[in-house]
Amino acid sequence: MSNRTNAVLSWLLVTAGMAAALKVADRVPALLLRAPHGARVYRTVAAAERATGSRLWLPAALPPSVDWPPFRIDAWPGPPLSVALRANQRSAPREHLVIVQSIGAPAPPPALLLEPLQPLLVTDVTVGPHRAMLTRGLEPGGRLVYDLAWDAGTRRLTLRYAGPVEELLRLAASFEREGP
Amino acid sequence: MPLAFLSQSILHAAVAALFVEALLRAWRIEDGSWRLRFRLLALAAPTLWLPALWILAPFRRSPVFVANWALFAGERWNGIPAGGTGFGDLLLLVACGAGSALFLRDALPPLIDALRGSTRPLASGPWHPTTAGLRGMVAARSAALGIPPPAVRLVDTPTPVLLCEGARDPVLVVSPPAVERLGPDELDAAITHELAHARHRDPAWGYFLIAVRAALFFNPAAQWIARAMVDDIERRADQTAAAVSGHPEGLARAIERLSGAGHPPPIDGHASFERVFWRVRQEGLARRCARLRQAPGPGGVRPSRTLLAAAAIGIFALVFFVV
């Protein structure tokens, strides 16, 4: 191998090695937090609102099975900015409710924040004055859940709930009492 | 914002330092002058490139860049809670503490010595027998190195001292015990080594490095780069002295004799930190002597400006995506 080839190969190897090492190190926090890589993670609603500079819409009424406040809030910078509030089930440390809102423009939740469902049944419903889409489907893990999505002004709200559909609809309606 | 700058300064210096160290090893570059140039590139990452990127590329701080493009984002570590704060901020605090300790460890003792005036010039002038004996040797070796012979200053201290100081007008500082301790070949090689420092304007490099270290006192990686540059300055002077005097073995013996004059700090709880530094220094000196004694091995890649440019591009490309 010539001197020049050796120099070029070494440079490529060192540069690629450093880039790979940095990328791996960058994934460690997401792995430790079990959070989507690239999303900003906040502990409280106040911290998320401060960092994003946006007021988050919160439900005015919650089913008794939901352990509130959310245990984690993930923000994806977008555009548009999307924020996911995650709450556990009160009786077990298991994700029970996810509220995703796109801020600034209606947009579907990024897959990083809310994994797409395998739909089983899709129905049109109303949430206050808005038309909404209710999907019954399976999460990648095989759990049966409901997704409810509707646009309200410059936001799209998507709720994923692992409880009864009546509770989900009441929860969604309470946003309309709390929203602008 | 200031925390983000401090964090990036440390990250950029660390990435650049590791990258340059890996390249020097991969390319097996042994020439002290070239090693210094490569290290200077690493030092430019936190001192020049980061401020330039901060001003010229503010989009690097945007959430979209951080989420989609960054190879490494320090702020992600703040998502991990650590005692009421983020783990990233805690790491930053520890790193700043380590950087400050490294800086103070090297900067304080000479400052205290200077304030105490622990060495004073001998009352005797150029007619002193030690000076007279050195004058011919200094003149001959200065001529061989192509520099005017520097002034020789004797200092009254019981420890052996042989060094070159003075950024503008180099001066050879000698204590009589240093001259008495060395044989003729060893003294010749040691004097040539100090004159090589004068030829390369190394005291000015020393002032430059201490100024950079003071400005980046919080940055442990920058402190490490500056220390590595001091080692390379010594390596360059060793290589020049070995080539001019023709006594690499004599120089290695002189280093051993002069460094052997110092005693390790006592073994007690208070001096354990000092002993670590003493051992590291001794190991460094042993490596230096081994380098002087070993026959030159199979050469690595021949250093050139092209390689220097390649290293600069590599550093810049990597740190651009480290936020």
pLDDT digits (tens, 9 = 90+) for B129-153: 566 778 888 999 999 999 999 999 8
Are A137 and A158 contained in the same domain? yes
Are A3 and A25 contained in the same domain? yes
The residue among B62 and B170 whose pLDDT is bigger is: B170
Q: How far is CA B58 from the centre of its chain?
A: 33
Are A109 and A45 contained in the same domain? yes
Are A74 and A11 contained in the same domain? no
Q: CA of B75, closest CA in chain A: separation in Å?
A: 9
Are A66 and A85 contained in the same domain? yes
Q: CA of A136, closest CA in chain B: separation in Å?
A: 31
Helix (H) / strand (E) containing B14: helix B2-27
- A75: which chain B residues are within 8 Å (Cβ-Cβ)? 63
Are A147 and A100 contained in the same domain? yes
pLDDT in tens, B2-44: 888 999 999 999 999 999 999 999 999 999 999 999 999 999 9
Per-residue tokens: B300: 């690595």
- Report the number of distinct structural domains present in chain A: 2
pLDDT number for residue B119: 56
Length of chain A as a residue count? 180
CB contact (8 A) between residue B26 and residue A10: yes
Are A29 and A44 contained in the same domain? no
Longest dimension (CA), chain B: 73
Chain B residue at shortest CA distance from A26: B72
Among positive and negative, which fits the CA dihedral B30, B32, B33, B37? Answer: positive
Chain A residue at shortest CA distance from B67: A38
pLDDT number for residue B266: 56
- A28: which chain B residues are within 8 Å (Cβ-Cβ)? 77
Q: CA of A120, closest CA in chain B: separation in Å?
A: 33
The residue whose two tokens read 């077990």 is A92
Phi, psi (degrees; rounded to nearest 5) at A156: -115, 130
| Residue B261 pLDDT greater than 80, yes or no | no
- Per-residue pLDDT band for B122 (boundaries 50, 70, 90) equals low
Are A9 and A53 contained in the same domain? no
Q: CA of B5, closest CA in chain A: separation in Å?
A: 18
CB contact (8 A) between residue A23 and residue B72: yes
Most confident of A165-169, B269-273, B297-301: A165-169
Are A17 and A64 contained in the same domain? no
Tell me which residue range forms the domain holding A143. 40-178
Are A168 and A102 contained in the same domain? yes
Q: With a cut of 50, which residues of chain A have pLDDT below it? A: 178-180
Has this prediction a pTM greater than 0.90?
A: no
CB contact (8 A) between residue B79 and residue A19: no
Closest CA to A148 of A98, A73, A78: A98
Chain B residue at shortest CA distance from A51: B63
User: Which residues have C-beta within 8 Å of that of residue A172, sequence separation ≥ 6?
Assistant: A127, A132, A148, A150, A157, A159
Residue type, B294: Q
In angstroms, the CA B227 to CA B210 distance is 10
- With a cut of 0.90, is the ipTM above it? no
- A7: which chain B residues are within 8 Å (Cβ-Cβ)? 27, 301, 307, 310
pLDDT number for residue B302: 87
Are A149 and A119 contained in the same domain? yes
The residue whose two tokens read 């570590």 is B77
pLDDT in tens, B76-109: 888 787 877 888 889 999 999 999 999 998 888 7
Are A87 and A153 contained in the same domain? yes
pLDDT number for residue A28: 92
CB contact (8 A) between residue A10 and residue B72: no
CB contact (8 A) between residue A29 and residue B301: no
Give residue ranges of A with CB < 8 Å to any B CB. 3, 6-7, 10-11, 13-15, 17-19, 22-23, 25-26, 28-30, 32-33, 35, 38-43, 75-79, 81
pLDDT number for residue A4: 83
Per-residue tokens: A168: 């989900």
A-B C-beta contacts closer than 8 Å: 82
Q: CA of A22, closest CA in chain B: separation in Å?
A: 6
Tell me which residue range forms the domain holding B307. 2-320
- Report the number of distinct structural domains present in chain B: 1
